[in-house]
Structure 1
Amino acid sequence: MTQKKVAVILSGCGVYDGAEIHETVITLLRLDQRGAKVQCFAPNIAQHHVINHLTGEEMPESRNVLVESARIARGDIKDISEANVEDFDALIVPGGFGAAKNLSDFAFKGTECAVQPDVLALAEAFAEAGKPIGLMCISPAIAAKIYGPGVVCTIGKDADTAAAVSKMGGEHHECDVSEIVEDKARKLVSTPAYMLANSISEAASGINKMVDRVLELTQQE
């Protein structure tokens, strides 16, 4: 079997204003354990805001999404504008509020949200190429923006977020933290992760299944 190449989009560093670190590390670990070659990407833009993760309060400073994401990727990360769908077999987007604040503005505009243009262009390219995508935590909230009406996904069991997904045209399926929801027609796999998880091992139970399934789907023509 040829080594699979997976693009991972990060949204900063830290659950409240960037990529969820546990979700990202679990994803990267599982991909490595399964022999995949990974390249991380992030948009080279200013974060929406910076949150003090000790107090939960906003800090009077500005940070860059790509620079902050580089912390998790150990510096091995590229500007998402350089990403080419032809170089990869699959795409995965960890959650964290950065997915709803930096990769999109879902946290602020809800059903009227827009996805950051470079992120949307890359995700749409994977969708159009029929290549699998994995979304977790809050990131499935933008699934309908990528795929259009009828896309099947999960954010777990949060009623308000599920209602927003449905209003945007998605078909939301409730899901336990250790399970995945697959849109077979679109090769989209989603899992709740920290939308439901109470521990890192609970988050990993679903994320590992999602990563495994995404990699399986890369072998289907």
Structure 2
Amino acid sequence: MAAVRVLVAPRLASALLPLSRYHRAPSQRAALHSSAPRPGARVALVLSGCGVYDGTEIHEASAILVHLSRGGAEVQIFAPDVPQMHVIDHTKGEPSERESRNVLAESARIARGKITSLAQLNAANHDAAIFPGGFGAAKNLLCCIAPVLAAKVIKGVEVTVGHEQEEGGKWPYAGTAEAIKALGAKHCVKGVTEA
């Protein structure tokens, strides 16, 4: 299985340096801004809607796509096919009570329609996964137990949910460390102020 590096947008510049070592034969997936397949690192870009307050931060996603394209990466864009947590009216910065939107449909705006349901993402088909910022990442993608999701998708990854002992209720998810290990990942004991 290909090693998958989980990257976040602030680390993108340093992450692009090793892209030149990934030279593969062209595949059926086309680069975002070209109709012809391009060799390079295979990158999964996971979006969470469209708009900084309820989805993916558009400038961040666009910058990532531009830099990956320039670096010769082969990008495949994904988003969950689920309702958004809520819709924010970006002109007012307030929730819009009468609207509902689908994360996949909204993310397709950024992807220019070339998007796949997150349920179809297979980590073995990608060298890296990038999750751009925006409040949608927290509202539409994550939950308090997100490290367990990483353990399920990325075999051998190192994650933490704090400590492995309850310590009188101080670490209520301590038992989750065993589930992480059972999924083939390594649990690292960390305090809330440790990286």
The normalised TM-score by structure 1 is 0.54
Instruction: State which of 116, 127, 134 in structure 1 corresponds to 2:154.
Output: 127
Matched, 1:77 2:100: no
Matches of 1:8 and 1:147 in 2, distance apart?
A: 24
Q: Aligned ranges for residues 87-106 of structure 1 at < 5 Å?
A: 87-105=125-143
Matches of 1:101 and 1:147 in 2, distance apart?
A: 26
Matched, 1:67 2:109: no
Q: Aligned ranges for residues 1-221 of structure 1 at < 5 Å?
A: 1-2=23-24, 3-59=40-96, 60-105=98-143, 113-115=144-146, 120=149, 123-124=150-151, 127-128=154-155, 148-149=187-188, 167=192, 171-172=194-195
Deviation at 1:127, TM superposition (A): 3.4
| Structure 2: gaps of 5 or more residues | 1-22, 25-39, 158-176
| Structure 1: gaps of 5 or more residues | 106-112, 131-143, 152-165, 173-221
Structure 2 counterpart SS, 1:6: strand
Structure 2 counterpart SS, 1:91: strand
Of structures 1 and 2, the one scoring higher in RCO (CA 8 A, sep 6+) is: 2
- Letter of the structure 1 residue corresponding to residue 99 of structure 2: E
Contact between 2:85 and 2:139, CA under 8 Å: does it hold in 1? yes
Query: Which structure dedicates a bigger proportion of its chain to helix?
Result: 1
Matches of 2:153 and 2:129 in 1, distance apart?
A: 7
Deviation at 1:148, TM superposition (A): 4.2
Cα 1:147–1:75, aligned 2, differ >3 Å: closer, same or farther?
A: farther
Deviation at 1:18, TM superposition (A): 0.3
Contact between 1:7 and 1:91, CA under 8 Å: does it hold in 2? yes
Deviation at 1:147, TM superposition (A): 6.9
Q: Deviations over 1:53-72 (max 9, x none)?
A: 11001112110001100000
Deviation at 1:22, TM superposition (A): 0.6
Cα 1:65–1:25, aligned 2, differ >3 Å: closer, same or farther?
A: same
The equivalent residue for 2:168 is none
Cα 1:49–1:126, aligned 2, differ >3 Å: closer, same or farther?
A: same
Contact between 2:104 and 2:117, CA under 8 Å: does it hold in 1? yes
Contact between 2:54 and 2:88, CA under 8 Å: does it hold in 1? yes
How many pairs does the alignment contain? 132
**Which has the higher Rg, Structure 1 or Structure 2?**
2
Cα 1:18–1:5, aligned 2, differ >3 Å: closer, same or farther?
A: same
